[in-house]
Amino acid sequence: MSTVDLLVGKGLLSRDVPLGPLTTYKTGGPARLFAEIGTRDDLDDLISSGLTSTCEVLVLGRGSNLLVSDEGFDGLVVHLVDDFLGVDVEEEIVTAGGAAPLSRVARTAVDSGLTGLEFFVGIPGSVGGAVRQNAGCFGVETADRLLEASIVDLGTGERRLAKVSDLELSYRHSNVGARHLVESASFQARRGDPDGGRRLMREVTRWRKENQPGGTLNAGSVFKNPPDVAAGELIDRLGLKGMRVGDVAVSEKHANFFVAGPNATAADIFRLVADVKDTVFERSGTILEPEIQFVGFEK
């Protein structure tokens, strides 16, 4: 019996799992292999099998900045659940599992009388994704609050407790690679007024509703901001709001959000991203770098 068959029999691994439902675009094909990991022992068993070192690996969080091709992903998807969803508070330090939603981190901190993490409520991702991309909004980045992260090398099984200074964090960048998995992370908060924290979270949420196309199928910001201008402002300035490919269009509300309709394909979205990038370069000379991760597309 093969290693894959053994892990499928143990319930640790599944074949041909649709990935579209696990992304905010709700489109894309299946993963050839899919591991739902609920405990550290599960993770160690998966690594010991050798699959994480021999297969192409995708660590899947909340799917909020991800586009999977219509053909799917011919590799191994690792998806954290259960034990990796927790959020704990000790003194002024908030420690959360890699799969914990950032909004839960923000609310747990405020409910515990801590402030400083309210900005997380405006980011629809997980702790692991925030560390890997140095996620941020409203002038605050993960790097500003992160203390350390427990990171597993899926190729070797090595665990390391990385300080924030070890991670080479910059704008939407870290040295956390594709074969690295963030098990947990700790953040520095401070004692403060819970009511003030809740007001700030409401302000962040209200701003998102007023300025971003909520209630739609999108993956958040499509492009990173160039050094001198916001990507959305540049796309808007060039008159590209409403630009369309198939059933996906540049949002009329925020030009750095591309909104998909129910009949959109991943190919439509991928093509629109490429068309907008090419048009912006042709008209302005600015090269836009996608913030979205593309999976299963030809490189």
128: Cβ–Cβ under 8 A, 6 or more apart, which residues? Answer: 59, 61, 80, 98, 99, 181, 182, 185
How many Cβ atoms sit within 10 Å of the Cβ of residue 269?
A: 29
Reply yes or no on whether 202 is catalytic: no
Q: By the 8 A CB rule, do 188 and 163 touch?
A: no
Question: Which of 118, 148, 183, 291 is the catalytic position?
Answer: 291
Residue 104: active-site member: no
Mapping DSSP onto H, E and C, the string for the chain reads CCHHHHHHHCCCEEEEEECHHHCCCCCCCEEEEEEEECCHHHHHHHHHCCHHHHCCEEEECCCCCEEECCCCEEEEEEEECHHHHCEEEECCEEEEECCCEHHHHHHHHHHCCEECCHHHHHCCCEHHHHHHHCCEECCEEHHHCEEEEEEEECCCCCEEEEEHHHCCCECCECCCCCCEEEEEEEEECEECCHHHHHHHHHHHHHHHHHHCCCCCECCCCCECCCCCCCHHHHHHHCCCCCCEECCEEECCCCCCCEEECCCCCHHHHHHHHHHHHHHHHHHHCCCCCECCEEECCCC
Q: Which of 49, 184, 221, 251 is catalytic?
A: 221
Selected catalytic residue, list 112, 172, 184, 186? 172
For tokens 């090419």, the residue is 278
Q: Is 186 a catalytic residue?
A: no
Which of the residues are catalytic?
Answer: 172, 221, 291
